[in-house]
Amino acid sequence: MTKGKYGEFGGQYIPETLMNEIINLENSYDFYKNDEKFKTELDFLLKNYANRPSLLYFAKNMTKDLNGAKVYLKREDLNHTGSHKINNVLGQVLLAKYMGKTRVIAETGAGQHGVATATAAALLGLECVVFMGEEDIKRQALNVYRMELLGAKVQSVKTGTGTLKDAVSEAMREWSKRVDDTLYVLGSVMGPHPYPMIVRDFQSIISKEAREEILLMENKLPHSVIACVGGGSNAMGMFYNFIPDKEVELIGCEAAGLGVDTDKHAASITKGSIGIFHGMKSIFCQDEYGQIAPVYSISAGLDYPGIGPEHAYLAQTKRAKYVPVKDDEAVYAFEYLAKTEGIICAIESAHAVYVGMEKAKSLNPDESIIICLSGRGDKDVKAIAKYKGREIHD
Amino acid sequence: MTNSYFDNNVFNKGKAFIPFITAGYPTLEDTERFILKMEEAGADLIEIGIPFSDPIAEGPVIQHASTMALKAGTTLDKIFDMVKKVREKSQVPLVFMTYINPIFKYGCEKFYAKCNELNIRGTILPDVPFEEKKEFEDVAKLYDVDIISLVTPASNNRIRKIAEASRGFIYVVSSMGVTGTRDEITTDLGAIDEIIRKTTITKTAIGFGINTLAQAKEISKHSDGIIVGSAIIKIIDKYGSNSDEQIFDFVQSMKKAINS
């Protein structure tokens, strides 16, 4: 009877108030994903608005320097709004419009999903409210102003730890108050079914393109595909079309913060356990009594105590592996990529870059790896400077 | 389906009044005393909230009480110890209201066995809808504990199937959104009540947003009982550990109002 399961993970653990609307969303998605008009319009927006397909860039300098496998970067940072988040929101906000909704709400951590949702809402003429933890509002002030410029209202969330998980909770609470005209545009492959499926489908364009691109350039599949994971949307998008290619190693990079042996991390798979939260059965950082643990990462986008259910399943079945990356390692990779390739990536993506660097070194030159650069790093520059002991004043 | 425990012990003294209290707010010693006060004042069933770190169906009042209770070191094991002390003095009907993760993590079997031992006969789980309840209900049934079904203003075509499968009693959510007191409740509760009545003999209680005596009296026309949470937590916000008399007066006047 239970829908949307990935092995034992997934499901629909949400209040009864939202059930009919979730069913409505699923039915609408099932209908429109095969509707020619919807598909044509979405395809047009992805190409002519979001700048797809994104480049699969051969990182020549990195490859030479690391002296191992060829390094390719999937440049989601070059999308409009600067991250992979636009892929999903164009799909969901367009779906909202086709469903007859006039208002969208969203949660955001780093602000990337919030900015993307505000952008799509501005383009398609829907009202937009973004929920953001008050800690994240401080960390990502620039993105807050961006959302406001785009006509969205940013709602500060003061409950709990004032971060991404609290923003998700508050968006769910808001949605349960007002479902008739509102769609909750979820930013990651998490939450109740059908969200993990919808977001994965919209993000799977990353691996659809990357798989074609690498075959064209290398004439064989990559040895490894690497992406960072918070909730896990860029990773799910980056992995999805490679899942049937058993020989391709899939690596998700979790935020280890100050280290997984401290209490300052957000490494759900490495340190968490099975639980039920935010609508899904998955793996969460929690205490022995099932209270959700406060998590930490230098990256506001990976600062979430759980992971999408399909990732939990890929981890359990060992189809993908998940490794922790600490703040200092991510910052090292952030600087390395800037100096070596002239690319300032998001601090989230830098977690994947770090693992990619280690991986490339361990492989032969006839192999290749793909690292997903999920976003660009303009938003992080000030925080990284501060991390390095330098205050930048506006 | 009829359930003799709730019919015979809760809904057998006129319209039932069901107060809610967050366990461990401000302390578990207070909760134990408040429960006994509520019984003394005429509460027919007491809903004990097991605090959860991220309660997605709660408004600010109960969120705050949950956070404070957890900060004070409240755990499920300590709550069971508190209920055990209550049971040494009283057999007042009790149910737990909580989110599924604390139960899942504790171990469903272990949790419901403990409920059985303490004569707790129901659990209200706002994040377990009809579609997901089987996993937990199969275990709960073994220990004579009911999973109380919720019906909301957005349930519409789902009301019948939820009512048909209901056990214990049906919790009718008065309004959209989260818990918390409201000045006005505009849902057509009569219409929901009518569908339920045509479907099942399971008793109903309406909750979410009920604040004043007049509201409770009006709304109780459409159910067998009334549930009040945030209004009680607000009393505790104000009087803290010294809320005993205030809680007693509130519960007594509510019970009287819905039966006058």
Q: What confidence tens digit (pLDDT) does each residue in A101-154 have?
A: 999 999 998 899 999 999 999 999 999 999 999 988 987 888 999 999 999 999
- For residue A394, is it within any domain? no
Q: How many CB atoms lie within 10 A of CB A76?
A: 30
- For residue B80, is it within any domain? yes
> Which residue is it, tokens 């361990």?
A362
- For residue B257, is it within any domain? no
Q: Are residues A143 and A250 in the same domain?
A: no
Predicted confidence (pLDDT) at residue A251 exceeds the cutoff of 80: yes
DSSP character for B98? Answer: -
| Local confidence band at B181 (pLDDT 50, 70, 90 cut-offs) | confident
A294-321 exposure pattern, b = at least 16 Cβ within 10 A, e = fewer: bbbbbbbbbbbbbbbbbbbbbbbeeebe
Q: Residue B143, exposed/middle/buried by CB under 10 A (0-12, 13-18, 19+)?
A: middle
Q: Are residues A62 and A137 in the same domain?
A: no
Q: Are residues A173 and A28 in the same domain?
A: yes
Q: What confidence tens digit (pLDDT) does each residue in A22-58 have?
A: 999 999 999 999 999 999 999 999 999 999 999 999 9
For chain A, percent of residues with pLDDT exceeding 70: 99
Are the Cβ atoms of B158 and A279 closer than 8 angstroms?
no
Q: Which of A146, A169, A199 is the last residue of a domain?
A: A199
Q: State how beta strands B94-97 and B122-124 pair.
A: parallel
Are the Cβ atoms of A19 and B131 closer than 8 angstroms?
yes
Window A:335-394, CB contacts with B under 8 Å: none
- For residue A242, is it within any domain? yes
Q: Are B128 and B147 in contact (CB under 8 A)?
A: yes
Q: Which of A173, A199, A225 is the last residue of a domain?
A: A199
Q: What confidence tens digit (pLDDT) does each residue in A48-95 have?
A: 999 999 999 999 999 999 999 999 999 999 999 999 999 999 999 999
- For residue A392, is it within any domain? no
For chain B, percent of residues with pLDDT exceeding 90: 93
- The CATH number of residue B175's host domain is 3.20.20.70
- For residue B260, is it within any domain? no
Q: Are residues A125 and A190 in the same domain?
A: yes
Q: How far apart are CA B149 and CA B136, in angstroms?
A: 13
- The CATH number of residue A355's host domain is 3.40.50.1100
A85 is catalytic: yes
Task: Render A192-245 in DSSP notation, one character per residue.
Answer: STTHHHHHHHHHTHHHHHHHHHHHHHHSS--SEEEEEESS-HHHHHHHGGGTT-
Q: Are residues A216 and A326 in the same domain?
A: yes
Predicted confidence (pLDDT) at residue B3 exceeds the cutoff of 60: no
Q: Are residues A343 and A382 in the same domain?
A: yes
Mean pLDDT of chain B: 96
Question: Which range of residues forms the domain containing residue A146?
Answer: 5-46+85-199
Q: Are residues A89 and A221 in the same domain?
A: no
Among A107, A170, A213, A310, the one annotated catalytic: A107
- For residue B11, is it within any domain? yes
Shortest alpha-carbon distance between residue A86 and chain B (Å): 27
Question: Which range of residues forms the domain containing residue B96?
Answer: 4-252
Q: Are B54 and A165 in contact (CB under 8 A)?
A: yes
Q: Are residues A92 and A125 in the same domain?
A: yes
Q: Are residues A153 and A213 in the same domain?
A: no
| Secondary structure element (H or E) that encloses residue A269, with its range | helix A268-271
> Which residue is it, tokens 């929101």?
A89
Is residue A194 reached through a cis peptide bond, with omega within 30 degrees of 0 on the bond before it?
Answer: yes
**Mean of pLDDT values over A214-232:** 97
- For residue B154, is it within any domain? yes
Q: Are residues A38 and A132 in the same domain?
A: yes
Task: Give the SS3 label for residue B196.
Answer: helix
- For residue A12, is it within any domain? yes
| Local confidence band at B1 (pLDDT 50, 70, 90 cut-offs) | very low
Residue A47 contacts B, CB cutoff 8 Å: no
Strand partners, A6: A9
Q: Are A189 and A231 in contact (CB under 8 A)?
A: yes
Cα within 13 Å of Cα(A142), Cβ side: 11
Which residues lie closer than 8 Å to A262 by C-beta, 6 or more apart? none
Shortest alpha-carbon distance between residue B245 and chain A (Å): 31
Number of domains in chain A: 2
Number of domains in chain B: 1
Q: Which of A183, A199, A215 is the last residue of a domain?
A: A199
- For residue A376, is it within any domain? yes
Using a CB-CB cut-off of 8 Å, the residues of chain B touching A176 are 57, 176-178
Q: Are B126 and B73 in contact (CB under 8 A)?
A: no
Nearest CA in chain B to A8: B135
Using a CB-CB cut-off of 8 Å, the residues of chain B touching A17 are 57, 152-154, 173, 176-177
**Number of A:B CB contacts under 8 A?**
120
Nearest CA in chain A to B78: A289
- For residue A393, is it within any domain? no
- For residue A334, is it within any domain? yes
Predicted confidence (pLDDT) at residue B163 exceeds the cutoff of 80: yes
Interface ipTM? 0.96
Q: Are residues A179 and A221 in the same domain?
A: no
- For residue A70, is it within any domain? yes
Q: Are residues A184 and A112 in the same domain?
A: yes
Residue-level pLDDT at A394: 63
